């Protein structure tokens, strides 16, 4: 990424954080509830369709522990974790400039602050996920994602793709992160997401598993 593109991304991130911070608390609560509901419905319907078709079921969802300002997913993760046929994991920063590691999470799993102050689980490392929920600050309607600048998800998703493992990526964002009309172009290493879900609905349509 050239210097102008880097400067533009930094400016965009600051602007998107300001938009996000301006959301009223009531709107955040309602929006997060809608996101959790749509996610729950989507996964349940996809798993039903897979079973009816005699295809392998979803076994592992890699989620993320929502930070302040992000759509709160914790209530849905607790619900999913009650399903013994489904593994829920959270990302762990194992080393700088490396792909994330996914460790199993349940409501009883001990947690600790990770490299960036984000809560990480002390559970065992788990196999590659079938679905990855990706925290998304900004997005395009083509599925391009603007993250927080660390590059961890781009490295992680690229490594998963290189392994040949089949999985789907769902960006989770506020609708105010829509970059339509902004001077934004993804970097060559950015990995496009399969779908993006916001508090206003699917900004990039839900995928079929």
pLDDT at 23: 96
3 state DSSP class of 117:
coil
pLDDT at 182: 84
| Pair 138, 173: CB distance under 8 Å | yes
pLDDT at 8: 77
Burial of 86: CB neighbours in 10 Å, binned 0-12, 13-18, 19+: middle
pLDDT at 184: 85
DSSP one-letter string for 122-150: -SPB-PPPSEEEEE-SEE-TTS-EE--SS
Please name each of the domains of the chain with its CATH number: 3-204 (3.40.50.10420)
Instruction: Provide CB contacts within 8 A for 104, sequence distance 6+.
Output: 87, 88, 89, 121, 123, 124, 125, 126
Buried b (16+ CB within 10 A) or exposed e, 185-197: ebeeebbebbbbb
pLDDT at 7: 61
Residues of the chain under the 70 pLDDT cut: 1-7
What's the pLDDT tens digit per position in 129-180?
Answer: 999 999 999 999 999 999 998 899 999 999 999 999 999 999 999 999 999 8
Q: Distance from CA of residue 181 to its chain's centroid? A: 23
3 state DSSP class of 4:
helix
pLDDT at 97: 87
User: What pTM was estimated for this model as a whole?
Assistant: 0.94
List 103's β-bridge partners, or say none: 90, 125
């Amino acid at each position: 990424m050239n210097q102008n593109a880097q400067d533009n991304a930094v400016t965009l991130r600051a602007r998107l954080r300001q938009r996000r911070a301006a959301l009223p608390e009531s709107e955040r609560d309602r929006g997060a509830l809608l996101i959790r509901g749509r996610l729950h419905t989507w996964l349940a319907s996809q798993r039903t369709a897979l079973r009816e078709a005699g295809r392998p079921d979803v076994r592992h969802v890699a989620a993320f522990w929502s930070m302040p300002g992000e759509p709160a997913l914790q209530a849905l993760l607790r619900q999913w974790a009650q399903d013994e046929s489904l593994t829920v994991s959270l990302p762990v920063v194992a080393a700088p400039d490396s792909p994330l590691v996914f460790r199993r999470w349940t409501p009883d799993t001990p947690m600790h602050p990770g490299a960036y102050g984000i809560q990480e689980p002390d559970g065992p490392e788990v196999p590659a996920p079938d679905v990855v929920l990706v925290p998304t600050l900004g997005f395009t309607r083509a599925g391009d994602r603007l993250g927080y600048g660390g590059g961890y998800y781009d490295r992680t998703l690229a490594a998963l793709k290189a392994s040949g493992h089949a999985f789907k990526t769902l960006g989770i964002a506020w609708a105010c992160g829509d970059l339509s009309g902004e001077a934004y172009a993804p970097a060559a290493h950015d990995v496009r997401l399969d779908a993006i879900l916001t508090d206003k609905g699917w900004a990039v349509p839900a995928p079929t598993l």
